[in-house]
Amino acid sequence: MTKNVAMSFTDLGLSPPLLKAIRDENYADPFPIQIQAIPAILKKRDIWGLAPTGSGKTAAYVLPILEMFQGKTAVKSRAVAVLVLVPTRELAIQVDQTVKTFTNGLPRNVKSMAVYGGVSINPQMIHLYGTDILIGTPGRLRKPWDPTRIHGRRTVGWFKDLYFIVFF
């Protein structure tokens, strides 16, 4: 029988700037979902996670995605690299806030944006330029977006430009 060994965020392969952001948010030790998900996502593996409310699921996928962005050169383009699909406006706002919280102080600025119904689509479309991580609800993402705003080209199938798709 193996003994459970306590792990820290340092053991998960995250860079010093991201570890600092984690400490700044007073995160002590990773939750089990984070211990399992972060190394797998850093190895670009698909994962399926199930954990109770408040157990760190959002950070489990946000942290490794932000880590991978740190290794990339910042490119100001229209291409969205990550799509996070969430069921509600409240969750879209929460995930976007989590991304913004952890990007403070990182060497590579990562722009995120939440899009959801109940508000005008025009301001959301205007602010989409340069967005790396798009968090949205299914209803809003079905709207007739100008395809050049999402991926920079007028072709069908902008999903092929994505590095990650997260369904929550």
Alpha-helical runs (H) found in the chain: 16-24, 32-42, 57-70, 89-103, 121-126, 138-141, 147-151
- The pLDDT, as a whole number, for residue 5 is 55
> Which pTM does this prediction carry?
0.81
Give a yes or no: residue 1 inside a domain.
no
User: Domain total for the chain?
Assistant: 1
Give a yes or no: residue 55 inside a domain.
yes
Give a yes or no: residue 2 inside a domain.
no
Alpha-carbon span 37 to 43, nearest angstrom: 10
User: Is 161 strand, coil or helix?
Assistant: helix
What's the whole-number mean pLDDT along residues 105-124?
A: 88
Give a yes or no: residue 3 inside a domain.
no
What's the whole-number mean pLDDT along residues 35-55?
A: 91
Q: What is the residue range of 134's domain?
A: 9-167
Give a yes or no: residue 109 inside a domain.
yes
Give a yes or no: residue 114 inside a domain.
yes
What's the whole-number mean pLDDT along residues 75-103?
A: 87
Place of tokens 């199938």: 157
Q: Are 62 and 34 in contact (CB under 8 A)?
A: no
Give a yes or no: residue 163 inside a domain.
yes
DSSP 32-49: HHHHHHHHHHHTT-----
For position 36, which CATH number holds?
A: 3.40.50.300
